[in-house]
Chain A
Amino acid sequence: MDIRVLLKLFLASLILIALVYVSLLIWEVITPFLLSYILLFVLKPGVTFFERRGLNHTLAVSLVFIATFGGATLLLTLFIPVMVNEFVGVRDNFSQYVQSFSTFVTSIKSYISQYSSFLFSFAPQEEILAVAENNIKVYVFSLFSQVPSILSITLAFILIIPFATFFLLLDEQIIQKKLIEFVPNRYFEVALNLIYNLNQQVGLILRGMFVRIVILTFITTAGFWIIDLKYPIIVGVLAGFTNLVPYVGPIFGTALAFLVAIMTGAPQIIYLYLLLITLVIHLVDNALIQPIVFSKSTNLHPLFVLFLIALGSVAGGVIGMFLIVPAVSLLKVFLVILYSHLSRPKKPAFSLYRKLEPPL
Protein backbone atom coordinates (compact mmCIF):
# COMPACT_ATOMS: atom_id res chain seq x y z
CA MET A 1 0.00 0.00 0.00
CA ASP A 2 1.19 3.51 -0.82
CA ILE A 3 2.81 5.18 2.23
CA ARG A 4 0.93 8.42 1.45
CA VAL A 5 -2.38 6.60 1.57
CA LEU A 6 -1.42 5.02 4.89
CA LEU A 7 -0.44 8.40 6.30
CA LYS A 8 -3.72 9.99 5.23
CA LEU A 9 -5.65 7.06 6.67
CA PHE A 10 -3.72 7.42 9.93
CA LEU A 11 -4.45 11.18 10.07
CA ALA A 12 -8.15 10.59 9.39
CA SER A 13 -8.27 8.01 12.20
CA LEU A 14 -6.51 10.44 14.56
CA ILE A 15 -9.07 13.18 13.82
CA LEU A 16 -11.87 10.69 14.42
CA ILE A 17 -10.40 9.58 17.75
CA ALA A 18 -9.98 13.25 18.80
CA LEU A 19 -13.63 13.90 17.96
CA VAL A 20 -14.74 10.87 19.97
CA TYR A 21 -12.57 12.04 22.90
CA VAL A 22 -14.09 15.55 22.89
CA SER A 23 -17.58 14.01 22.69
CA LEU A 24 -16.79 11.89 25.76
CA LEU A 25 -15.73 15.04 27.66
CA ILE A 26 -19.10 16.70 27.07
CA TRP A 27 -20.99 13.42 27.25
CA GLU A 28 -23.86 14.64 29.43
CA VAL A 29 -24.70 17.51 27.09
CA ILE A 30 -24.48 15.37 23.99
CA THR A 31 -26.41 12.35 25.31
CA PRO A 32 -30.02 13.65 24.86
CA PHE A 33 -29.20 14.86 21.35
CA LEU A 34 -27.53 11.55 20.58
CA LEU A 35 -30.64 9.73 21.78
CA SER A 36 -32.75 12.02 19.56
CA TYR A 37 -30.46 11.17 16.67
CA ILE A 38 -30.99 7.46 17.40
CA LEU A 39 -34.76 8.03 17.49
CA LEU A 40 -34.52 9.87 14.15
CA PHE A 41 -33.26 6.70 12.48
CA VAL A 42 -35.85 4.55 14.21
CA LEU A 43 -38.74 6.86 13.29
CA LYS A 44 -37.68 7.84 9.75
CA PRO A 45 -39.27 4.79 8.09
CA GLY A 46 -42.57 5.87 9.70
CA VAL A 47 -42.29 9.32 8.10
CA THR A 48 -41.46 7.72 4.73
CA PHE A 49 -44.48 5.43 5.17
CA PHE A 50 -46.88 8.38 5.53
CA GLU A 51 -45.17 10.41 2.79
CA ARG A 52 -45.59 7.48 0.40
CA ARG A 53 -49.31 7.68 1.09
CA GLY A 54 -49.45 11.28 -0.08
CA LEU A 55 -49.02 13.23 3.17
CA ASN A 56 -46.64 16.18 3.08
CA HIS A 57 -43.42 16.03 5.11
CA THR A 58 -44.53 18.24 8.03
CA LEU A 59 -47.80 16.36 8.47
CA ALA A 60 -46.04 12.98 8.23
CA VAL A 61 -43.48 14.05 10.86
CA SER A 62 -46.22 15.40 13.16
CA LEU A 63 -48.21 12.15 12.89
CA VAL A 64 -45.19 9.97 13.64
CA PHE A 65 -44.18 12.27 16.50
CA ILE A 66 -47.62 12.25 18.11
CA ALA A 67 -48.00 8.48 17.68
CA THR A 68 -44.55 7.73 19.13
CA PHE A 69 -44.45 10.08 22.08
CA GLY A 70 -48.18 9.66 22.79
CA GLY A 71 -47.70 5.91 22.77
CA ALA A 72 -44.60 6.15 24.94
CA THR A 73 -46.45 8.38 27.45
CA LEU A 74 -49.34 5.91 27.58
CA LEU A 75 -46.98 2.98 28.05
CA LEU A 76 -45.04 4.78 30.79
CA THR A 77 -48.28 5.77 32.55
CA LEU A 78 -49.26 2.12 32.60
CA PHE A 79 -45.92 0.63 33.53
CA ILE A 80 -44.28 3.19 35.83
CA PRO A 81 -46.63 2.48 38.80
CA VAL A 82 -46.03 -1.27 38.35
CA MET A 83 -42.26 -0.77 38.17
CA VAL A 84 -42.29 1.52 41.21
CA ASN A 85 -44.23 -1.16 43.08
CA GLU A 86 -41.62 -3.72 42.09
CA PHE A 87 -38.79 -1.44 43.27
CA VAL A 88 -40.58 -0.82 46.57
CA GLY A 89 -41.04 -4.58 46.93
CA VAL A 90 -37.29 -5.15 46.44
CA ARG A 91 -36.45 -2.46 48.98
CA ASP A 92 -38.92 -3.66 51.64
CA ASN A 93 -38.03 -7.34 51.40
CA PHE A 94 -34.33 -6.84 50.86
CA SER A 95 -33.07 -8.39 54.12
CA GLN A 96 -35.34 -11.37 53.60
CA TYR A 97 -33.91 -11.85 50.10
CA VAL A 98 -30.36 -11.69 51.37
CA GLN A 99 -31.28 -14.33 53.92
CA SER A 100 -32.72 -16.57 51.16
CA PHE A 101 -29.53 -16.09 49.18
CA SER A 102 -27.46 -17.06 52.26
CA THR A 103 -29.58 -20.18 52.73
CA PHE A 104 -29.06 -21.08 49.10
CA VAL A 105 -25.28 -20.63 49.34
CA THR A 106 -25.27 -22.71 52.54
CA SER A 107 -27.20 -25.55 50.91
CA ILE A 108 -24.90 -25.51 47.87
CA LYS A 109 -21.88 -25.55 50.17
CA SER A 110 -23.17 -28.47 52.24
CA TYR A 111 -24.04 -30.34 49.02
CA ILE A 112 -20.57 -29.83 47.56
CA SER A 113 -18.80 -30.55 50.87
CA GLN A 114 -20.32 -34.07 50.85
CA TYR A 115 -18.08 -34.83 47.88
CA SER A 116 -15.14 -32.63 48.60
CA SER A 117 -14.42 -31.98 52.23
CA PHE A 118 -11.50 -29.69 51.55
CA LEU A 119 -13.58 -27.26 49.44
CA PHE A 120 -14.34 -24.01 51.31
CA SER A 121 -12.07 -25.25 54.13
CA PHE A 122 -9.75 -22.34 53.38
CA ALA A 123 -12.42 -19.81 54.39
CA PRO A 124 -15.13 -20.09 57.00
CA GLN A 125 -18.71 -20.14 55.66
CA GLU A 126 -19.83 -17.11 57.67
CA GLU A 127 -17.06 -15.00 56.23
CA ILE A 128 -18.05 -15.80 52.63
CA LEU A 129 -21.70 -15.06 53.36
CA ALA A 130 -20.88 -11.82 55.16
CA VAL A 131 -18.79 -10.62 52.20
CA ALA A 132 -21.50 -11.59 49.70
CA GLU A 133 -24.25 -9.96 51.78
CA ASN A 134 -22.23 -6.81 52.27
CA ASN A 135 -21.41 -6.52 48.56
CA ILE A 136 -25.02 -6.95 47.52
CA LYS A 137 -26.13 -4.39 50.14
CA VAL A 138 -23.57 -1.82 48.99
CA TYR A 139 -24.56 -2.34 45.36
CA VAL A 140 -28.31 -2.06 45.96
CA PHE A 141 -27.99 0.97 48.29
CA SER A 142 -25.70 2.77 45.85
CA LEU A 143 -28.34 2.10 43.18
CA PHE A 144 -31.06 3.63 45.39
CA SER A 145 -28.86 6.61 46.36
CA GLN A 146 -28.46 7.40 42.64
CA VAL A 147 -32.22 7.58 42.10
CA PRO A 148 -32.52 11.42 42.58
CA SER A 149 -29.73 12.18 40.10
CA ILE A 150 -31.11 9.61 37.65
CA LEU A 151 -34.56 11.26 37.98
CA SER A 152 -33.19 14.77 37.31
CA ILE A 153 -31.29 13.55 34.23
CA THR A 154 -34.41 11.70 33.05
CA LEU A 155 -36.47 14.87 33.47
CA ALA A 156 -33.98 16.87 31.39
CA PHE A 157 -34.03 14.13 28.76
CA ILE A 158 -37.84 14.07 28.75
CA LEU A 159 -37.84 17.81 28.02
CA ILE A 160 -35.09 17.84 25.39
CA ILE A 161 -35.50 14.55 23.52
CA PRO A 162 -39.03 15.06 22.07
CA PHE A 163 -38.21 18.58 20.79
CA ALA A 164 -34.83 17.59 19.37
CA THR A 165 -36.33 14.51 17.71
CA PHE A 166 -39.17 16.52 16.17
CA PHE A 167 -36.85 19.10 14.64
CA LEU A 168 -34.37 16.48 13.48
CA LEU A 169 -37.17 14.58 11.74
CA LEU A 170 -38.49 17.79 10.21
CA ASP A 171 -35.22 19.34 9.05
CA GLU A 172 -32.70 16.48 8.83
CA GLN A 173 -32.25 17.00 5.10
CA ILE A 174 -31.68 20.75 5.45
CA ILE A 175 -29.25 20.32 8.35
CA GLN A 176 -27.30 17.71 6.41
CA LYS A 177 -27.22 19.92 3.31
CA LYS A 178 -26.05 22.95 5.33
CA LEU A 179 -23.30 20.93 6.98
CA ILE A 180 -22.02 19.47 3.73
CA GLU A 181 -21.88 22.96 2.18
CA PHE A 182 -18.69 23.53 4.17
CA VAL A 183 -16.87 20.65 2.45
CA PRO A 184 -14.52 21.90 -0.31
CA ASN A 185 -15.54 21.00 -3.89
CA ARG A 186 -12.60 18.62 -4.22
CA TYR A 187 -13.84 16.36 -1.42
CA PHE A 188 -17.56 17.02 -1.83
CA GLU A 189 -18.58 13.86 -3.69
CA VAL A 190 -16.46 11.62 -1.42
CA ALA A 191 -17.93 13.28 1.68
CA LEU A 192 -21.43 12.88 0.27
CA ASN A 193 -20.83 9.21 -0.47
CA LEU A 194 -19.39 8.70 3.01
CA ILE A 195 -22.30 10.42 4.76
CA TYR A 196 -24.92 8.48 2.80
CA ASN A 197 -23.23 5.13 3.41
CA LEU A 198 -22.69 5.85 7.12
CA ASN A 199 -26.30 7.02 7.43
CA GLN A 200 -27.47 3.81 5.83
CA GLN A 201 -25.30 1.69 8.16
CA VAL A 202 -26.32 3.68 11.27
CA GLY A 203 -29.97 3.29 10.26
CA LEU A 204 -29.62 -0.48 9.83
CA ILE A 205 -27.82 -0.92 13.15
CA LEU A 206 -30.06 1.35 15.22
CA ARG A 207 -33.31 0.07 13.79
CA GLY A 208 -32.00 -3.46 14.31
CA MET A 209 -31.09 -2.74 17.94
CA PHE A 210 -34.44 -1.10 18.59
CA VAL A 211 -36.47 -3.94 17.11
CA ARG A 212 -34.38 -6.48 19.04
CA ILE A 213 -34.81 -4.62 22.35
CA VAL A 214 -38.57 -4.38 21.91
CA ILE A 215 -39.09 -8.03 20.88
CA LEU A 216 -36.67 -9.54 23.43
CA THR A 217 -37.95 -7.38 26.29
CA PHE A 218 -41.53 -8.30 25.46
CA ILE A 219 -40.85 -12.05 25.18
CA THR A 220 -38.67 -12.13 28.32
CA THR A 221 -41.11 -10.13 30.45
CA ALA A 222 -44.07 -12.18 29.24
CA GLY A 223 -42.17 -15.42 29.93
CA PHE A 224 -41.21 -14.36 33.46
CA TRP A 225 -44.74 -13.19 34.14
CA ILE A 226 -46.24 -16.49 32.93
CA ILE A 227 -43.97 -18.65 35.15
CA ASP A 228 -44.78 -16.34 38.08
CA LEU A 229 -41.25 -15.10 38.72
CA LYS A 230 -41.26 -12.13 41.09
CA TYR A 231 -40.55 -8.65 39.63
CA PRO A 232 -41.07 -9.78 36.00
CA ILE A 233 -41.01 -6.24 34.54
CA ILE A 234 -37.72 -5.09 36.13
CA VAL A 235 -35.99 -8.40 35.39
CA GLY A 236 -37.56 -8.71 31.93
CA VAL A 237 -36.57 -5.20 30.86
CA LEU A 238 -33.01 -5.62 32.19
CA ALA A 239 -32.65 -9.07 30.60
CA GLY A 240 -34.08 -7.75 27.31
CA PHE A 241 -31.55 -4.92 27.24
CA THR A 242 -28.58 -7.11 28.21
CA ASN A 243 -29.37 -9.32 25.19
CA LEU A 244 -28.07 -6.49 23.04
CA VAL A 245 -24.50 -7.27 24.11
CA PRO A 246 -23.51 -10.17 21.87
CA TYR A 247 -22.57 -13.50 23.51
CA VAL A 248 -22.11 -12.12 27.06
CA GLY A 249 -25.49 -10.35 27.36
CA PRO A 250 -27.80 -13.40 27.40
CA ILE A 251 -25.65 -14.95 30.19
CA PHE A 252 -26.07 -11.78 32.30
CA GLY A 253 -29.81 -11.78 31.70
CA THR A 254 -30.20 -15.44 32.68
CA ALA A 255 -27.96 -15.01 35.74
CA LEU A 256 -30.09 -12.05 36.87
CA ALA A 257 -33.30 -14.07 36.55
CA PHE A 258 -31.74 -16.98 38.50
CA LEU A 259 -30.52 -14.58 41.19
CA VAL A 260 -34.03 -13.17 41.61
CA ALA A 261 -35.47 -16.71 41.75
CA ILE A 262 -32.93 -17.68 44.43
CA MET A 263 -33.41 -14.51 46.50
CA THR A 264 -37.20 -14.66 46.41
CA GLY A 265 -37.16 -18.35 47.34
CA ALA A 266 -38.99 -19.41 44.18
CA PRO A 267 -40.09 -23.08 43.88
CA GLN A 268 -37.57 -25.38 42.24
CA ILE A 269 -39.64 -25.92 39.09
CA ILE A 270 -39.11 -22.22 38.23
CA TYR A 271 -35.40 -22.88 37.60
CA LEU A 272 -36.35 -25.40 34.93
CA TYR A 273 -38.81 -22.93 33.41
CA LEU A 274 -36.15 -20.22 33.46
CA LEU A 275 -33.79 -22.50 31.55
CA LEU A 276 -36.54 -23.25 29.02
CA ILE A 277 -37.38 -19.53 28.59
CA THR A 278 -33.70 -18.69 28.09
CA LEU A 279 -33.41 -21.45 25.50
CA VAL A 280 -36.53 -20.29 23.63
CA ILE A 281 -35.40 -16.65 23.66
CA HIS A 282 -31.95 -17.65 22.45
CA LEU A 283 -33.48 -19.70 19.61
CA VAL A 284 -35.93 -16.96 18.59
CA ASP A 285 -33.13 -14.37 18.71
CA ASN A 286 -30.61 -16.40 16.72
CA ALA A 287 -32.95 -18.07 14.25
CA LEU A 288 -35.46 -15.29 13.62
CA ILE A 289 -34.59 -11.83 14.91
CA GLN A 290 -30.85 -11.59 14.22
CA PRO A 291 -30.88 -13.01 10.66
CA ILE A 292 -33.66 -10.59 9.67
CA VAL A 293 -32.53 -7.56 11.62
CA PHE A 294 -28.74 -7.78 11.48
CA SER A 295 -28.11 -9.57 8.19
CA LYS A 296 -26.68 -6.49 6.52
CA SER A 297 -25.40 -4.43 9.42
CA THR A 298 -22.44 -5.99 11.24
CA ASN A 299 -20.11 -8.34 9.46
CA LEU A 300 -17.43 -8.94 12.10
CA HIS A 301 -15.78 -12.18 13.22
CA PRO A 302 -17.22 -13.59 16.52
CA LEU A 303 -13.76 -13.70 18.13
CA PHE A 304 -13.20 -10.05 17.23
CA VAL A 305 -16.66 -9.21 18.63
CA LEU A 306 -15.75 -10.88 21.95
CA PHE A 307 -12.50 -8.90 22.06
CA LEU A 308 -14.43 -5.69 21.36
CA ILE A 309 -16.90 -6.40 24.16
CA ALA A 310 -14.04 -6.90 26.62
CA LEU A 311 -12.51 -3.64 25.36
CA GLY A 312 -15.87 -1.84 25.61
CA SER A 313 -16.42 -2.99 29.19
CA VAL A 314 -13.00 -1.64 30.20
CA ALA A 315 -13.42 1.66 28.34
CA GLY A 316 -17.06 2.49 29.05
CA GLY A 317 -18.62 -0.12 31.34
CA VAL A 318 -22.05 -1.44 30.40
CA ILE A 319 -22.69 1.40 27.90
CA GLY A 320 -19.32 0.69 26.31
CA MET A 321 -20.29 -2.96 25.88
CA PHE A 322 -23.54 -1.90 24.18
CA LEU A 323 -21.99 0.63 21.85
CA ILE A 324 -18.62 -0.74 20.84
CA VAL A 325 -19.77 -3.28 18.21
CA PRO A 326 -22.00 -0.80 16.29
CA ALA A 327 -19.27 1.87 16.59
CA VAL A 328 -16.61 -0.43 15.15
CA SER A 329 -18.87 -1.58 12.31
CA LEU A 330 -19.38 2.11 11.43
CA LEU A 331 -15.66 2.75 11.61
CA LYS A 332 -15.19 -0.18 9.23
CA VAL A 333 -17.56 1.39 6.66
CA PHE A 334 -15.81 4.74 7.10
CA LEU A 335 -12.34 3.29 6.54
CA VAL A 336 -13.40 1.11 3.58
CA ILE A 337 -14.85 4.14 1.72
CA LEU A 338 -11.91 6.34 2.65
CA TYR A 339 -9.45 3.67 1.55
CA SER A 340 -11.19 3.12 -1.79
CA HIS A 341 -10.97 6.89 -2.39
CA LEU A 342 -7.37 7.34 -1.25
CA SER A 343 -6.04 4.28 -3.05
CA ARG A 344 -7.37 5.37 -6.46
CA PRO A 345 -4.47 5.83 -8.93
CA LYS A 346 -3.44 9.47 -9.00
CA LYS A 347 -3.78 11.25 -12.32
CA PRO A 348 -1.63 14.16 -13.48
CA ALA A 349 -3.27 17.56 -12.90
CA PHE A 350 -5.82 18.43 -15.57
CA SER A 351 -3.96 21.63 -16.49
CA LEU A 352 -1.20 19.37 -17.89
CA TYR A 353 -3.69 17.80 -20.30
CA ARG A 354 -5.06 21.15 -21.38
CA LYS A 355 -1.63 22.45 -22.36
CA LEU A 356 -1.45 19.63 -24.91
CA GLU A 357 -5.00 20.12 -26.12
CA PRO A 358 -5.21 20.17 -29.93
CA PRO A 359 -7.02 23.19 -31.35
CA LEU A 360 -10.76 22.68 -31.64
Chain B
Amino acid sequence: MDSHPIWGNPFNKSGSNLKDEIDFLSTVPVFDLLSAREKKKVCSLLHVRIFSKDEVVFRQDDPGVGLYIVREGKCEVYCEYSDLSCKRIAVMNTGDFFGEMSLLNDSPRSATIVAVTETKLLGLFRHDLLELMDSSPRLGLNLVYRLAQIVAERLRLINDFSGE
Protein backbone atom coordinates (compact mmCIF):
# COMPACT_ATOMS: atom_id res chain seq x y z
CA MET B 1 0.00 0.00 0.00
CA ASP B 2 1.24 3.50 -0.83
CA SER B 3 2.18 5.74 2.09
CA HIS B 4 0.08 8.80 2.89
CA PRO B 5 1.01 11.68 0.55
CA ILE B 6 1.50 14.15 3.43
CA TRP B 7 2.29 12.19 6.61
CA GLY B 8 4.03 9.24 5.02
CA ASN B 9 7.79 9.39 4.63
CA PRO B 10 8.23 10.54 1.03
CA PHE B 11 11.76 9.09 0.90
CA ASN B 12 10.62 5.61 1.81
CA LYS B 13 10.90 3.52 -1.32
CA SER B 14 8.99 0.32 -0.86
CA GLY B 15 11.03 -2.60 -2.25
CA SER B 16 8.09 -4.77 -3.38
CA ASN B 17 6.38 -1.83 -5.13
CA LEU B 18 9.55 -1.02 -6.98
CA LYS B 19 9.95 -4.64 -8.09
CA ASP B 20 6.35 -4.65 -9.35
CA GLU B 21 6.96 -1.46 -11.27
CA ILE B 22 10.17 -2.82 -12.81
CA ASP B 23 8.36 -6.03 -13.80
CA PHE B 24 5.58 -3.96 -15.29
CA LEU B 25 8.01 -1.82 -17.30
CA SER B 26 9.42 -5.03 -18.84
CA THR B 27 6.05 -5.54 -20.52
CA VAL B 28 6.07 -2.07 -22.11
CA PRO B 29 7.84 -2.05 -25.51
CA VAL B 30 9.55 1.34 -24.87
CA PHE B 31 11.49 -0.10 -21.93
CA ASP B 32 11.85 -3.78 -22.83
CA LEU B 33 15.50 -3.47 -23.89
CA LEU B 34 16.64 -1.80 -20.66
CA SER B 35 18.44 -3.61 -17.85
CA ALA B 36 16.82 -3.95 -14.40
CA ARG B 37 19.08 -1.17 -13.07
CA GLU B 38 18.11 1.12 -15.93
CA LYS B 39 14.41 0.35 -15.41
CA LYS B 40 14.84 1.25 -11.73
CA LYS B 41 16.23 4.60 -12.79
CA VAL B 42 13.34 5.15 -15.22
CA CYS B 43 10.88 4.24 -12.43
CA SER B 44 12.19 7.15 -10.36
CA LEU B 45 11.23 9.50 -13.20
CA LEU B 46 7.67 8.28 -13.72
CA HIS B 47 4.77 10.35 -12.38
CA VAL B 48 1.71 8.43 -11.18
CA ARG B 49 -1.63 10.05 -12.11
CA ILE B 50 -5.08 8.69 -11.27
CA PHE B 51 -7.95 9.62 -13.61
CA SER B 52 -11.58 9.04 -12.77
CA LYS B 53 -14.13 7.56 -15.19
CA ASP B 54 -14.79 9.84 -18.21
CA GLU B 55 -12.03 12.26 -17.17
CA VAL B 56 -10.10 13.71 -20.09
CA VAL B 57 -6.35 12.97 -19.88
CA PHE B 58 -5.55 15.53 -22.57
CA ARG B 59 -7.26 17.12 -25.54
CA GLN B 60 -6.27 17.16 -29.18
CA ASP B 61 -4.10 20.24 -30.01
CA ASP B 62 -3.08 20.75 -26.36
CA PRO B 63 0.67 21.35 -26.02
CA GLY B 64 2.21 17.94 -25.33
CA VAL B 65 4.85 17.36 -22.68
CA GLY B 66 5.24 13.59 -22.61
CA LEU B 67 4.14 10.01 -22.78
CA TYR B 68 1.62 8.10 -20.63
CA ILE B 69 1.53 4.36 -19.96
CA VAL B 70 -1.69 2.69 -18.82
CA ARG B 71 -0.82 1.01 -15.52
CA GLU B 72 -4.38 0.03 -14.54
CA GLY B 73 -7.72 0.68 -16.24
CA LYS B 74 -8.68 1.60 -19.77
CA CYS B 75 -8.53 4.71 -22.00
CA GLU B 76 -10.07 5.64 -25.33
CA VAL B 77 -8.38 7.63 -28.08
CA TYR B 78 -10.56 10.09 -30.03
CA CYS B 79 -10.01 12.27 -33.06
CA GLU B 80 -11.93 15.55 -32.76
CA TYR B 81 -13.31 17.44 -35.78
CA SER B 82 -14.22 21.09 -36.21
CA ASP B 83 -17.96 20.28 -36.60
CA LEU B 84 -18.02 19.09 -32.97
CA SER B 85 -17.98 15.45 -33.99
CA CYS B 86 -15.37 12.91 -32.98
CA LYS B 87 -14.27 9.42 -33.85
CA ARG B 88 -12.93 6.78 -31.52
CA ILE B 89 -9.78 5.43 -33.08
CA ALA B 90 -8.37 3.12 -30.43
CA VAL B 91 -8.76 1.68 -26.96
CA MET B 92 -5.75 1.53 -24.63
CA ASN B 93 -5.46 -1.21 -22.01
CA THR B 94 -2.91 -1.97 -19.30
CA GLY B 95 0.61 -1.83 -20.75
CA ASP B 96 -0.37 0.34 -23.74
CA PHE B 97 1.13 3.79 -24.08
CA PHE B 98 0.34 7.04 -25.90
CA GLY B 99 1.84 10.49 -26.41
CA GLU B 100 5.26 9.16 -27.44
CA MET B 101 5.57 11.87 -30.12
CA SER B 102 5.36 14.59 -27.45
CA LEU B 103 8.32 13.02 -25.77
CA LEU B 104 10.47 13.72 -28.80
CA ASN B 105 9.28 17.21 -29.76
CA ASP B 106 6.85 19.87 -28.50
CA SER B 107 4.21 19.34 -31.17
CA PRO B 108 0.56 19.57 -30.07
CA ARG B 109 -1.34 16.43 -29.08
CA SER B 110 -2.67 14.60 -32.13
CA ALA B 111 -5.69 13.05 -30.38
CA THR B 112 -7.88 13.27 -27.29
CA ILE B 113 -7.55 10.63 -24.57
CA VAL B 114 -10.39 9.85 -22.15
CA ALA B 115 -10.32 7.43 -19.21
CA VAL B 116 -13.12 4.87 -19.61
CA THR B 117 -12.83 3.50 -16.07
CA GLU B 118 -10.85 4.73 -13.09
CA THR B 119 -7.38 4.61 -14.60
CA LYS B 120 -3.86 4.77 -13.23
CA LEU B 121 -1.37 6.23 -15.68
CA LEU B 122 2.40 6.53 -15.48
CA GLY B 123 3.76 9.66 -17.12
CA LEU B 124 7.24 10.10 -18.55
CA PHE B 125 7.89 13.70 -19.55
CA ARG B 126 10.24 15.39 -22.00
CA HIS B 127 12.15 17.46 -19.44
CA ASP B 128 12.84 14.34 -17.37
CA LEU B 129 14.02 12.50 -20.47
CA LEU B 130 16.35 15.40 -21.34
CA GLU B 131 17.78 15.38 -17.80
CA LEU B 132 18.19 11.61 -18.02
CA MET B 133 20.06 11.98 -21.32
CA ASP B 134 22.31 14.51 -19.60
CA SER B 135 23.09 12.40 -16.53
CA SER B 136 22.99 8.91 -18.16
CA PRO B 137 23.64 9.36 -21.87
CA ARG B 138 23.70 5.63 -22.63
CA LEU B 139 20.35 4.97 -20.98
CA GLY B 140 18.89 8.09 -22.61
CA LEU B 141 20.17 6.97 -26.01
CA ASN B 142 18.72 3.45 -25.57
CA LEU B 143 15.37 4.93 -24.63
CA VAL B 144 15.25 7.42 -27.50
CA TYR B 145 16.44 4.75 -29.96
CA ARG B 146 13.62 2.43 -28.87
CA LEU B 147 11.12 5.30 -29.09
CA ALA B 148 12.32 6.14 -32.61
CA GLN B 149 11.86 2.47 -33.61
CA ILE B 150 8.31 2.48 -32.26
CA VAL B 151 7.41 5.78 -33.95
CA ALA B 152 8.89 4.50 -37.23
CA GLU B 153 6.92 1.26 -36.90
CA ARG B 154 3.68 3.15 -36.24
CA LEU B 155 4.39 5.46 -39.20
CA ARG B 156 4.90 2.43 -41.44
CA LEU B 157 1.61 0.92 -40.24
CA ILE B 158 -0.21 4.21 -40.95
CA ASN B 159 1.34 4.34 -44.44
CA ASP B 160 0.29 0.73 -45.12
CA PHE B 161 -3.19 1.48 -43.79
CA SER B 162 -3.64 4.63 -45.91
CA GLY B 163 -2.26 2.76 -48.96
CA GLU B 164 -4.97 0.15 -48.66
Contacts and interface: CB of A to CB of B under 8 A. Distances in A.
Nearest to A167: B11
B23 interface: no
A185 B57 CA distance: 8
A146 interface: no
Interface residues of A, number: 30
Interface string B131-145: 000111100000000
A160 interface: no
A357 B51 contact: no
Interface string B113-136: 010000000000101000000111
B44 A354 contact: no
A182 B49 contact: no
Interface string A178-205: 1011100100110011001000000000
A178 B10 CA distance: 7
B94 to A, nearest CB: 19
Given A48-B134, A52-B137, A357 B85 contact: yes
Interface stretch (B14-22, B28-36, B58-66, B152-160): B58-66
Contact of A356 (B45, B49, B84, B134): B84
B10 A175 contact: yes
Given A174-B10, A174-B44, A353-B80, A185 B86 contact: no
Contacts of B55: 185
Contacts of A347: 59, 61
Contacts, number: 77
Interface string B36-59: 000000001101110100111111
Given A52-B135, A171-B11, A178-B10, A189 B58 contact: yes
Contacts of B86: 350, 353-354, 356-357
A51 B44 contact: no
Contacts of A177: 47
Interface string B80-93: 10001111100000
Interface in A133-166: none
Given A185-B55, A189-B62, A353-B78, A173 B5 contact: no
A267 interface: no
Contacts of A178: 5, 10
Contacts of B114: 350, 354
Nearest to A188: B49
Given A185-B57, A357-B86, 4 more contacts: A193-B63, A356-B86, A357-B78, A360-B88
Interface of B: 5, 10-11, 44-45, 47-49, 51, 54-59, 61-63, 65-66, 78, 80, 84-88, 112, 114, 125, 127, 134-137
